[in-house]
């Protein structure tokens, strides 16, 4: 009689891959519920001279490409809409096989990619640095966390690595507009 152990091992391996894809899809679907315009106070640690803690930030998110991508754009609502003069970083969220990735099109001129992991309760999607294209002499985005409070309220935490690997943390408390 032939052992069924190899067949069992293959089935268990395939089910693990299927669950991973399911988790990535669930996280992506959860992020897509944020499609809207959001506004709220932002704080920076360590503080920056040209930005006061508690200053307003506006985030717009929209689903695009037949549901295959989510566009996230940050800006200061007190500045103009000219992205050649003011910071308007864009982040794209998308599925790549069994992973949820983001690519951040940074005002520093580079494009870091991060891969997601979701908390057990599904209320937090955290992105860890994967790699970066472009120069990093001005630093690069390194980490992001999205925390879902309710349908009209979420938090965003972004970590930027300054030159010399000094982290700068931005916290945004955002409400749906």
Task: Report whether pLDDT(14) > 70.
Answer: no
End-to-end CA distance of the chain: 66
Average of pLDDT values for 155-170?
96
Map residue 112 onto helix, strand or coil.
strand
| pTM of the shown model | 0.85
Taking the CA atoms of the chain, what radius of gyration do you get in angstroms?
A: 19
Provide the pLDDT for residue 50: 63
pLDDT at 79: 85
Residues 140-149 have a mean pLDDT of: 98
- How large is the average pLDDT for residues 156-170? 96
Q: Map out the domains of the chain with their CATH numbers.
A: 5-176 (2.40.128.20)
User: For a pLDDT cut of 90, what percent of the chain falls above it?
Assistant: 75
Using pLDDT thresholds of 50, 70 and 90, give the confidence band for residue 10: very low
pLDDT at 17 over 80: no
Query: Do the Cβ atoms of 128 and 120 come closer than 8 Å?
Result: no
C-alpha–C-alpha distance, residues 99 and 78, integer Å: 36
């Amino acid at each position: 009689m032939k052992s069924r152990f190899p067949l069992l091992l293959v089935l268990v391996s395939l089910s693990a891959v299927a669950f991973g894809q399911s988790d990535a899809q669930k996280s992506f679907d959860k992020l897509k519920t944020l499609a809207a315009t959001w506004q709220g106070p932002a704080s920076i640690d360590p503080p920056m001279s040209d930005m006061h803690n508690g200053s307003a930030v506006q985030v717009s998110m929209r689903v695009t490409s037949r549901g295959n991508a989510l566009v996230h754009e940050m800006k200061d609502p007190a500045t103009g809409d000219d992205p050649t003069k003011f910071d308007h970083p864009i982040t794209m969220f998308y599925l790549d096989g069994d992973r949820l990735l983001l690519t951040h099109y940074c005002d520093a001129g580079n494009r870091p990619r991060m891969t997601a992991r979701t908390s057990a309760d599904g209320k937090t999607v955290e992105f860890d640095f994967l790699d970066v294209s472009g120069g990093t002499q001005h630093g690069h985005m390194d980490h992001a966390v999205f925390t879902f409070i309710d349908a009209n309220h979420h938090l965003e935490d972004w970590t930027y690595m300054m030159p010399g690997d000094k982290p700068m943390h931005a916290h945004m408390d955002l409400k749906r507009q």
